[in-house]
Structure formats: structure tokens, C-alpha cells
Structure 1
């Protein structure tokens, strides 16, 4: 982000590119700069789009579905997917009808029933490397656990999680820099989902999320195969990227701030509050886009139907007008009204599940790898526009014993 000027209509023009390496390395500084100029700016990159960077503006826009549409795409540039990724790329009242199909499977009660499975996975995965005294914690724990749990919920083969992770990561992180690669990954993912759908139809449905989608109806009409596929894609994206990103980001902060780590080691009851603070401080989903649905004024600016806007959740969560000392991690912070999961009709359905997986992984790490430290430089995905996440993080720690079923 290099230049700023006032356009003829009074809007503040900036060169802001959330897909750039500069953003990946300096996202929080750029958020501060955007807010200092104006909470509503306009960037010329990617065909032009509005940028909302303070809490009040992001909150208001996210709740105004008439002015700010989620269909056809929540990305800037727009997604290369051939069909909308539902329900995130839909608008009310369809949004609520789509969400109601699976909402009960992501409730706090349903999440509680999945925690033993998450614990089992954490034990198995940590057993796989704890005797070595080193690992890539992202590749060996924080990515496979959410991925395998997501596949478990969908009734799919957990052992093939690496294929799904590759497709999801390419679809999310390569789409702006290498749309052809992202497109190929998307088509391969579609093909695999189609095979699972055919299997359900030939062998019968089970008590899993994919079967529920295939049997669901909206206003008496079953979802078609495209809708089922795109809904499944969203579940896979949500389960295989953001929770790992949150956990990796938090681990880096605990290495930087050993006193925070020690507090959690000594008082595990702090984990729920720490979870909310890490969600606020290092929000994995940096922002999502909307399409202006009608001509109108917003925050004093004239906006035209068809223009795009990016709602920066992560910038809103560092807004000093709402959060005292926003650049400080404070487990005792009373204000927990962060926007890490969005707000309004599109608030993340999987928020309870994400919190549970994060707490399980952090609890197991603090119990079994309490002295973890970096054994190399963490690497982030090249494109952090939508998801700010670590892709690789080598650590070392005091070796320990295996404790799972395979322990000797």
C-alpha cells in the first residue's frame, strides 16, 4: 500500500492489495494505516473495491444483506469456482434455509459429542512424533486433526486427508496467483465428492453431513448435485484451513511470550478466554467480500450497484476504538465481541467446532510438548488475503512417551 489520494467523489484512494507479499508480511501495519486515513477507502487493485477497516463499519456492512450481497462471490477477485459456494455465497432468505440443514450438527451440544474423537486424534498424531523430540507441528498435528475430523463428520475416509488438504489449500491460497492450479484442484475435489455421492446412492445413506445434504429439501425441493457439491466444498474449506491457521498463529505468540504460555500451563481453565483472545488478535479469516446490491450511500460515500467491498474482520478486531490496547494479547480482556467468525446471517456455523478443536490441540500441546520452541523459520501461505495461516512450523521439544493404544 503505497499511495493515497482523494478522488473526485471524495473517496480516499489507496493501493491496497490483500493478495500481495507486502500484505502477508505487514497486514497489521496496513490495517492501522487504513484506519488512520479513513475507515472506508477504495483500492484500485483487482478491478477496484471498497475497503472497510474499522469495527463499526465492518459490523454494519455485515448485517446489511440488502446493500451488501454475498452472492455471487465473497472473494476479491471473485472466486473462479463455476458455481457459488453455498451457503456463504448466498443471500437471505435462502441463506437461512441452507444453513438450517446442518445447523444442528454444529451446535455446542453436537460439538461436545465430537470432543472425544478430537482427543483421540490428538493423542494418535502426537504419539507419531513425540519420541523424536521434533516435528513440523502444522503438517503433523494442526492440519491433519481438523482435516480428519471434518472428513469424519462427512462420512469420508480420514486416511485420504492429505489429498483433500492439498485441494483445499490450492483452491484458497493459489486462486489469485495461479488460478489454473486452483481450478484444477477444484475440479479434482468436485470429482471426489461426486464419487462419494454416487456411493451413497448405491449403498445407502448414513448418519453423516454429506448424507444429510443429499436428503435435504428446501421448500419441498431436494438440493441438486451442484448445490450438494458446493455446500460440501464449503465444509471442507472451513474445516481444513482456518482452525490450523488459528493454532499455528497462537503457537508463535506463545513462543514470543513465554509468560503467556506459562499461565496456560499452570491454569488450563484460562484456555476458553485465551481462545477468544487469539481469535481476536490473529484472526485467521482476514476478510471477506461483498457485492453492492443497490445504489446508495454508506458511511457518507456514494456506492454503486455491482461494486465490490472487502470487510476486514482482522482489522476490525484490532480497532482501538473498541478494544483497549488492541495490539496486546490479554487473556483477561473482558470485551470478547470480536468478529473472527463474522456477524449477521453469515456468522460461521462451525464456530463452536473450531473453538473445541483449537482448545483440544492447545491442551494436548501444553501437556505433552510444554517446552516447544522453534526449530526453523515458520512459513506462511504465500497468499494471506482470506486466510492468515502458517503452512509449516518446525519445532523441537523434550521427547516423551507414546500414550495411545499403540503405546508399549
Structure 2
């Protein structure tokens, strides 16, 4: 019997035994409580990601949009429905080609490898400030005081929006992804936080446009650029801004704190990376594979697709279990071992194909800088594991707090 339930406390505790069972016994699986099919093997997820003719993102990609039925058990809605919003051009993650191709091209310049390289001095300065404060206090939280502090400020710099708003963005985004035990999906306070974020962004967008303010970053393209022959309306612009803020604020702190935690668990590997900083990219890459923060993203089928003898019908949703695919023993030797010597194998943490993560070069730079600077300053840091807090969510997995002692 398949026991996987993405919103169960047991899966929140440790999803990997459930993923292993899915891969072995039911590589395509459907739970009666939820809307979509689940794919758990690396090759299946990769094939679906690359098949833009059989799958669409226009109905959403996240668990908030695709996992839950519109009105489960007659209760309150636990899903997020964008269909009634006045948006023809949603965030790039919810666009199919050819519109996606044109919109992505308009947004991509600040995310190219050379742009990430230009951001590195800014990122390193922020990280060194975090290190200096940690030295004074004798410790830091690897999420709030370190990786999270960096990631939101880099996202603001990419957009060109004021850094003064960084902590507000973090609060709204973190609240959006909080979950309550026993209640699946977005919480009421999460919905309120999402509304608060978009209302605030729309107010700022209206102010900037009224004054003709140029912010000097990606926000200028979002506010004033040509998208399919017109400017984005205020709501569309807010969704594009929030896409960058959420993407930059949520995933990187979880991946970086996972790397910090796993290196602490494996002191011999930590010593290797500290002695040879050129291994920092591999350590971050392995953390992305081993502890993929985003548990699932999905698509909706546009035509019949078959996996392992099961036909997915048009209109049916399919969730790709990224974290399971990254631990697939068919794709990786010793898949359940953390090994910075693994190199840089192909993983799914940034997606593949048309919707490959725009910010992946920036994320890799940030992860590398965080590990380089932490290990240069505190090569024998200690994790206060008793005080660590893990997030409990069907969508994200990782640390909400990871206190470190440093000397």
C-alpha cells in the first residue's frame, strides 16, 4: 500500500522513505485526496519538463494552484486560483511559448552569467558584514542572519527596488509559505500576507509610474517595457516583481542552510571544502540535489500522455516531485549519500528546458560566496541543532532557523 500523502505529518518529518516507495512501486501515483498525478523518478520528471507540447503552465505550477481540489470536503478553499484576476500576461513561470519566449527574453539580461558575476562584489560585501556581526556576537542564524539576509537584498538589487523594504518582503513571503499542522494548503494569514505584498507593490508601482521613476534594475523593464505590444498593467507588474522576490528570497536560504548543516554533519567534507574553496560550488550543488527545497512543481496535460502504462488525460494535473527525482538511485550512485566529491551532475533543482530557473546563475554565485566566506572565517562552526527549526510544508522543505556558534 502506498502511504504517501504530501500534507501528512509523517511526510513533513521525512519525505524520503515515501519517495523511495513511490519510485519503486508507483512511479506515477494519484492520491484520492488530491487533484494531480505525482511523478517521482528522475527520467520521468525530466521528460515531462522538456515536453512543452503535452503540458502547459498557464493553469499554474505550484502546490497552491494544482495540488488541491477547488473545495475539498466542503471546507474552505486551500488552493490559489488566478483565473479571475485581470492578467493576460502573468508571471513568466505561468506562460507557455511563444509568449513565454518573448517575455523571458525581455526579463533575462540581469540573470545572465556575466550579470551574476557583476553582482558578486555586492553579495560578498553583505556576507562579510554578516560574518563581522557573527564574530561580535559569537553566533548567527544561518537563515535569517546570513543566507536570507543576503538573498532578499540581492533580489532587491536585481530589481533596483529600495533595500529598505527587504525585511518587509521577507516577512510577507515567509508568512505565505507557513503551514498549520493538520490543515493543508495556504493559511488565512498566508493569504493575507500575499495580499499585503501585492497591495504594497501595486502602490509602489503606481507611485513610480506616476513620477516616471527609473530604478536602474529589472523593475524598469517590468514597469516600462513592451510586453506583447503594451505595458504590463499594475497587477501584472506586481506579479512579475513578486516572482523575483519570492524566487530570490525563499529557495536560496534553504539550500545554503542545508549545505551548512550537511557540512557540519560531515566534518571531513567540511574540512576539504575549507582547505580547497574551489569545492564550494560542488558543495552547494550537492546540497541542492540532496536537500532540494522545492518539493514539487507541476503542469497540466494538454493531450494524452502515458507514463508506465497509465494515461494522463488532457486537463489533468501532474506534480513533479523534484526532491524525489534528485534522490533517484537510477540517476545517481549512492543517491542517499551527501558527497561534495560527486562533482556537478545534472540535477533538477533549477528545472530543465523552457522554464529553467532564470536566477540559477545568481543563486549559484550566492551559495558559493556564502560557503567560501563562512568557511574562511569559521571553518569549525557548530550547529545548535536543538534550537534548529524545520519548516513543515507540502511545497518547501528546509530550515526556518539554523543557529550557529562560531569562535
Match of 2:377 among 354, 364, 368: 368
Judge conservation of contact 2:139–2:404 (CA < 8 Å) in 1.
yes
> Of the candidates 332, 337, 340, which is equivalent to residue 349 of structure 2?
340
What's 1:11 paired with?
A: none
After superposition, residues 43-192 of structure 1 pair within 5 angstroms as 43-46=31-34, 48-78=35-65, 79-80=79-80, 82=82, 83=85, 86-174=91-179, 176-192=184-200
Pairwise CA distance, 1:172: 2.9
* CA pair 335-157 structure 1, distance change in 2 beyond 3 A: closer
Rate the CA distance shift 1:345–1:38 in 2: closer, same or farther, 3 A.
same
- Partner of 2:295: helix, strand, or coil? coil
Q: Which residue of 2 aligns with 1:302?
A: 311
Alignment partner of 2:370: what SS?
A: helix
Q: Would you identify which runs of 4 or more consecutive aligned residues in structure 1 move more than 6 Å?
A: none
- Give the TM-score normalised by the residue count of structure 1: 0.89
Superposed displacement of residue 229, structure 1:
1.1
* Cα deviation digits, residues 226-270 of structure 1 (max 9, x gap): 221111111111000100000111111111110010001111111
- Retained in 2: the 8 A contact 1:122–1:145? yes
- The one of 16, 28, 31 aligned to 1:40: 28
1:221 deviates by: 2.3
Q: 1:129 to 1:271 in 2, by over 3 A?
A: closer
Distance in 2 separating the partners of 1:17 and 1:120: 43
C-alpha deviations, 1:358-388, integer Å up to 9, x for none? 11111111111222112233111121x2222
8 Å Cα contact 2:301/2:316 also seen in 1: yes
Aligned partners of 2:96 and 2:179: how far apart in 1?
26
Provide the aligned length of Structure 1 versus Structure 2: 384
User: Hey, what's the Cα distance between the residues in 2 that align with 1:172 and 1:135?
Assistant: 23
Which residue of the partner structure matches residue 30 of structure 1? 18
Q: Which runs of 5+ in 1 are unaligned?
A: 5-13, 399-408
With over 3 angstroms needed to count, the CA separation of the structure-2 counterparts of 1:313 and 1:260, relative to structure 1, is same
- CA deviation after TM superposition for structure 1 residue 15, in Å: 4.7
Give the whole-Å Cα distance in 1 for the aligned partners of 2:55 and 2:291.
Answer: 25
For the 8 Å contact 2:103–2:227, the answer to whether it is kept is yes
- Would the aligned equivalents of 1:72 and 1:90 in 2 still touch at CA under 8 Å? no
SS at match of 1:276: helix
d(CA) in 1 for partners of 2:303, 2:178? 30
Q: Is the 8 A contact 2:130 2:145 kept in 1?
A: yes
| Normalised TM-score (structure 2) | 0.89
Q: What is the match of residue 214 of structure 1?
A: 223
How far apart, in 1, do the equivalents of 2:306 and 2:129 lie? 54
Instruction: State how 1:191-340 maps to structure 2 within 5 Å.
Output: 191-201=199-209, 202-334=211-343, 336-340=345-349
How far 1:173 moved relative to its partner? 3.4
The answer as to whether partners of 1:291 and 1:307 remain within 8 angstroms in 2 is yes
More helix by share: 2
- 2-side partners of 1:155 and 1:273: how far apart? 30
Q: Deviations over 1:186-239 (max 9, x none)?
A: 111112211221232214223211111112213322222222111111111100
**Structure 2 residue runs without a partner (length 5+):** 66-78
